[in-house]
Amino acid sequence: MTDAKPDRSAWLKGGNSKCQAKPVATGKPWRLVLLGAPGVGKGTQAELLKARLGACHLSTGDIFRAAKQLNQNERTPALTAALEYMRRGELVPDSTVIDIVRERRGCLRCECGFLLDGFPRTVTQAETLETLLKEEGLRLDAVLNYELPIDLIVKRLSGRRTCANCKAVFHVETRPPKKEGVCDHCGGKLYQREDDRPESIRVRMEAYRKSTAPLADFYDRRGLLLTIPADGTPEEIFNRTMEALRARS
């Protein structure tokens, strides 16, 4: 990828939008799936991998966030359906998530490879991805599964504080505000979100474990799963990731 931010319309909007990403030769084009519970630092690793490998970061979370800002006539049918489920506070079903990715299957052909983040989340989605890639004459190189003991995840997430005004995020230990309880950017009051409370985090982690255990088994049986310990600094985790990928190449 170039240093300038590429036009990501093809991934964020789908439909007839065209990809404007400019691949840069960085060696082998890696096609990877990223797995990891909230709090393991998967987003940070995705950014580091994107910079090192030149691969496109294809996050389904980015699609859902962008969809809320699109005019109704800019939304594809699958996006419209997904937003309706979200508006009702319901989980977006496999069929709709699959339709959203299928609309964007051209992004899977990116010459510089891809980092799929947020998809697949179920075995059904993984089977569909496998079929889509096969139809495109492609295959996954590896599935990076970032793991961290639940007590460390609870510590990471429960220390987060969010600004009530600008939504900036701080951490009481790793990124504290200059003045306790006050946002550095806008002076707003910092608070702990309900889903960042320890008891809520443990419930979310158990739900994640139950939903992704079959997915990890699915990829392990295919010889694609690389489990990466997610303790330590982002740089240490990234170095482990690159060592694991080099061992596969």
Examine the residue annotation and report whether 248 is marked as an active-site residue of this protein: no
CATH, residue 134? 3.40.50.300
Residue 201 lies in a domain: no
**Residue holding tokens 């600094």?**
233
Among 42, 75, 156, 161, the one annotated catalytic? 42
Angle between helices 94-103 and 123-135 (to 10 degrees): 20
Residue 13 lies in a domain: yes
Residue 68 lies in a domain: yes
Q: Tell me the residue range of the domain where 46 lies.
A: 9-149+208-243
Residue 29 lies in a domain: yes
Among 121, 156, 161, 240, the one annotated catalytic? 121
pLDDT in tens, the chain (249 residues): 334 445 567 787 776 656 665 656 567 899 999 999 988 989 899 999 999 998 989 998 888 888 888 888 888 888 889 989 988 888 889 999 999 999 888 889 888 899 999 999 999 999 999 999 999 999 999 999 999 998 999 988 999 999 999 989 999 988 899 999 999 999 999 999 998 999 999 998 888 888 888 999 999 999 999 999 999 999 999 999 999 999 987
C-alpha span between 198 and 86 (Å, rounded) = 24
CA angle 59, 46, 118 (to 5 degrees): 30
- Token code pair at residue 202: 């443990």
Examine the residue annotation and report whether 121 is marked as an active-site residue of this protein: yes
Residue 162 lies in a domain: no
Examine the residue annotation and report whether 42 is marked as an active-site residue of this protein: yes
Residue 187 lies in a domain: no
In the chain, the number of structural domains is 1
Among 31, 104, 160, 240, the one annotated catalytic? 160
C-alpha span between 216 and 143 (Å, rounded) = 9
Residue 158 lies in a domain: no
Residue 161 lies in a domain: no
Among 22, 65, 193, 248, the one annotated catalytic? 193
Among 50, 102, 202, 204, the one annotated catalytic? 204
Can you say how many angstroms the Cα of residue 45 is from the centroid of all Cα atoms in its chain? 10
pTM of the model: 0.84
State pLDDT tens for residues 195-209: 899 999 999 888 888
